[in-house]
Amino acid sequence: MVVMTKPISPPKGQAPEGNGDKAQEEVYEEDSGDCKEFVPPPSVTGSHQMRIPLIGAAVEGKLDVVERLLTNQQAKVDEKDFDRRTALMHAAARGRLDVVGVKGSQGVLKSLHATVEVLVRHGAKITAKDQLGETAIMKASRGGHVECIRLLLDTQLKRQRAASTGLTLAEMEEIHNFTLSEKRRILDVKDEEGQTALIKAAEAGRLESVRALVEMRASVDVQDDEGWNALMWASLGGHLPVVQWLVEEQLQDVNFASEKTSESPLIKVPFYYRDVLPHVVYRQAAVNGHVEICEYLLSKGAKINHHDYNYQNSLMWAAASGHLEVVEVEPSTIPASLQ
């Protein structure tokens, strides 16, 4: 058994208690044999991943080093850093072209997508989760790396089918008729807060990832542990193109409300957004397209008087937060029936 520690994140919407420099920690165990080993928390380890040769090479997109380490069995493909992230997770999060060397006047470009391919070919576990419960597919989705998402999904589908049928992966190469349940078993996996790859893509404003995931049959109506869906997260983040696509192409309800908090997409716009990792509070309303999102949601029939479980509506939240731009949304954008 390996005894691990990780910081305890405060609930959403709550500030951390006590000294912010000394994050409260909880201890958890992971099966790793007969011995127990203490592993320091991420806050005291620094860039430990760079001291793991395979992960360091994956982060930098050094395809030749990754191939050599794995071919010569000098590294374990699923070795994790102190944040529980594997080389595959790091490569998927950075799945674009990267300069890894220079010869004369020409830069030598190698794709981190190719690094993902090498890691997968050597058996990297696609469903592995890091300390936050995120998978490689979630990281690729948040980064907008659609080709990486496709590769990871296709490979995991074949692995699952091979395991259930007894076929080899080579025999699975020509099989592409996977069921909806098989796809959603992979795409709808949730992290520690109940978020899926689709929700993470919407929160990050990655329309290309959102579209691709829905085409791959990810559930668009899925909710996290707070009852928030992809539309609410896109509204909170100020990502108008994602909001428009979800409403117009996927017919998402602009008046959807969380059963747990009664919050709606319109209420999420003039809200405080709390990033619990660095303990910094960002005022997100009236910046990054939030006013336009208010106008858009109202034009689509969002109820301006809908209130949350604290009986606060969107105008109250906007006024309390000092976001006059949101309070003074152009009346012409509001349907007559709602004025």
Question: Encoding tokens for residue 84?
Answer: 């529980």
All residues at 6 or more sequence positions from 21 whose CB lies less than 8 Å from its CB, including other chains: none
Residue 150: the pLDDT is 94
CATH code of the region 223-339 = 1.25.40.20
Residue 16 pLDDT exceeds 70: no
Residue-wise pLDDT for 21-40, tens only, equals 434 333 333 343 333 333 33
Residue 157: the pLDDT is 96
- The single residue listed with the structure tokens 């004369």 is 104
Residue 112: the pLDDT is 60
Which fold would CATH assign to domain 130-219? 1.25.40
Residue-wise pLDDT for 202-252, tens only, equals 999 999 999 999 999 999 999 999 999 999 999 888 899 999 999 999 999
Q: How many CB atoms lie within 10 A of CB 133?
A: 15
Residue 77: the pLDDT is 96
Residue 50: the pLDDT is 58
Range in 48-57, 84-93, 157-166, 300-309 with the lowest mean pLDDT: 300-309
Residue 73: the pLDDT is 95
pTM value? 0.72
What are the boundaries of each domain within the chain? Answer: 130-219, 223-339
- The single residue listed with the structure tokens 């009236």 is 286
Dist CA 291 CA 308 (whole Å)? 20
pLDDT band at 314 (very low <50, low <70, confident <90, very high): low
Range in 115-119, 256-260, 313-317, 335-339 with the lowest mean pLDDT: 335-339
Q: Are 326 and 286 in contact (CB under 8 A)?
A: yes
The residue among 36, 40, 37 whose CA lies nearest residue 25 is 40
Residue 305: the pLDDT is 66
| DSSP 8-state code for residue 285 | T
**In the predicted model, what is the mean pLDDT of residues 319-328?**
47
Matching fold, domains 130-219 and 223-339: yes
All residues at 6 or more sequence positions from 71 whose CB lies less than 8 Å from its CB, including other chains: none
H helices present in 166-238, as ranges: 169-172, 180-187, 197-204, 207-215, 230-237
Residue-wise pLDDT for 267-313, tens only, equals 666 554 444 333 332 333 333 347 788 788 888 887 666 566 665 55
Would residue 194 be called left, alpha or beta, if left means φ above 0 and alpha means ψ between -120 and 50 degrees? left
pLDDT band at 47 (very low <50, low <70, confident <90, very high): low
Share of the chain above pLDDT 70, in %: 62
| DSSP 8-state code for residue 80 | B
pLDDT band at 200 (very low <50, low <70, confident <90, very high): very high
All residues at 6 or more sequence positions from 26 whose CB lies less than 8 Å from its CB, including other chains: 5, 6, 8
Dist CA 305 CA 262 (whole Å)? 12
Question: Encoding tokens for residue 138?
Answer: 């979630």
List the beta bridge partners of residue 53.
Answer: none
Q: Are 267 and 293 in contact (CB under 8 A)?
A: no
H or E segment at 273? strand 272-275
Residue-wise pLDDT for 127-141, tens only, equals 999 999 999 999 999
Residue 7: the pLDDT is 43
Q: Are 32 and 1 in contact (CB under 8 A)?
A: yes
Dist CA 191 CA 239 (whole Å)? 22
The residue among 270, 300, 303 whose CA lies nearest residue 286 is 270
Residue 175: the pLDDT is 85
Residue 146: the pLDDT is 93
Contacts of the segment 175-183: beta carbons below 8 A, 24+ positions apart? 180/217, 182/157, 183/153, 183/157, 183/216, 183/217, 183/218
Rounded to the nearest integer, the mean pLDDT of the chain is 74
Higher pLDDT, 221 or 20: 221
pLDDT band at 46 (very low <50, low <70, confident <90, very high): very low
The residue among 279, 312, 276, 290 whose CA lies nearest residue 234 is 290
Residue 292: the pLDDT is 83
Amino acid at 52: I
Residue 123 pLDDT exceeds 90: yes
